[in-house]
Amino acid sequence: MELLDWLKERFAWQDVRLVNEALVETEQGRKRLRYWSDKELLDWHIEWRDHCRVTPFILADRMIRATNKEPALEWKDGWLTVHDEVTGTVPSKEVAEKIGLMIGTMIAFGLETEAAVEPVVKREPLYAELRESLPILPQEQHAFVSSLVREAAVRRKKAAALESKLADERLPLLDPLHFSKETRHVYQVMIWQGTMERPERGYFTVRSFLESWLEHYGKDGCLELWKGMQTYVSNEQAMLLLAELLKPYELDSLVTLLETNPTDAAISGEINQLVAKWERSKELVALLSSSIDSRRRVMTS
């Protein structure tokens, strides 16, 4: 096949077998193929993978260099990159601090880098749209959701005040974080699985990761994760993360559900999930606020 012969030549492999359109088997192990049509996006993904690591514990899934030392090669109407395919187990909370260090290095790099790639559009909470939907809620849920909308407005105001105070601070450009597939073990090293997605400007993706980590590993696991992160995160950046945690995104899924003419049972189920997310957000806000206060006391003592 044309692709297999081309790969043999470009990477000096002797034996290449196609597993599927995204995987090949070689004498050096299984490799993942990624196809890119956007050069600016590709360059961004090469750059952050090359720079972000926690030696010797965590490495990003970097682009394997071809025989010409290039990380990406032109292929048909775009570019192709090759990565080691790693299928080891996902690490647990025992390595939380190291994973926090990796996220911290990504934040630090995302603050320093100048990239031509266009980030995804920054989203805002949709809670205000619930005011129009309140009349259709069952009576027993109307008052409860109304109280959440009021509290959401207070949270959004606090977040806006923090962001206004820190308006001169830059926000990091980050590869989206996905809790379920971020890291894999190979021998004693963890491989950080990057995406092919557009980067995000700001802390929304970090917030989502922290929420999932708290849900799975609890407060202690979250504190260990933050212990690693804060090595690279200044007080000002921590405050911007706090502002993101304050934003009431938890109500967005209810807004979306109410647009589909749902049953009372569906609404009730969604509200139960919403409350759990709301409590996790409050716990994260308390955890981060306490950490920021502790750091300030240490710095001023």
Question: What is the tens place of the pLDDT at every residue in 27-43?
Answer: 999 999 999 999 999 99
Domain CATH for 198: 3.90.1200.10
186 and 65 belong to one structural domain: no
CATH number for the domain spanning 59: value is 3.30.200.20
Question: Do both 227 and 288 map to the same domain?
Answer: yes
> Tokens in use for 251?
């109500």
- DSSP H helices, the chain, are 2-11, 39-51, 96-112, 130-133, 139-165, 204-229, 235-246, 252-258, 264-300
Q: Are residues 23 and 142 in the same domain?
A: no
pLDDT of 300 over the 70 cut: no
Which of residues 84, 105, 134 is at a domain's end?
84
Which has the closest alpha carbon to 209: 219, 200, 222, 194?
A: 222
State phi, psi for 81 to the nearest 5 degrees. -120, 155
Examine the domain organization and report whether 15 and 97 are in the same domain.
no
5, burial (CB in 10 Å: exposed 0-12, middle 13-18, buried 19+): exposed
pLDDT for 295 equals 84
Mark whether 207 and 243 lie in a shared domain. Answer: yes
Instruction: Give yes or no for residue 92 having a pLDDT over 60.
Output: yes
Domain interval for residue 24: 2-84
Measured between alpha carbons, how far is 204 from 202 in angstroms, rounded to an integer?
6
113 in the same domain as 60: no
Average pLDDT, stretch 178-199?
A: 83
- Give how many domains the chain has, as a whole number: 2
Question: Do 80 and 98 sit in the same domain of this protein?
Answer: no
Confidence of residue 185 (pLDDT cuts 50, 70, 90): confident
pLDDT at 301 over 60: no
193 and 222: one domain? yes
Identify whether residues 196 and 65 lie together within a single domain: no
If asked whether residues 179 and 111 sit together in one domain, one would say yes
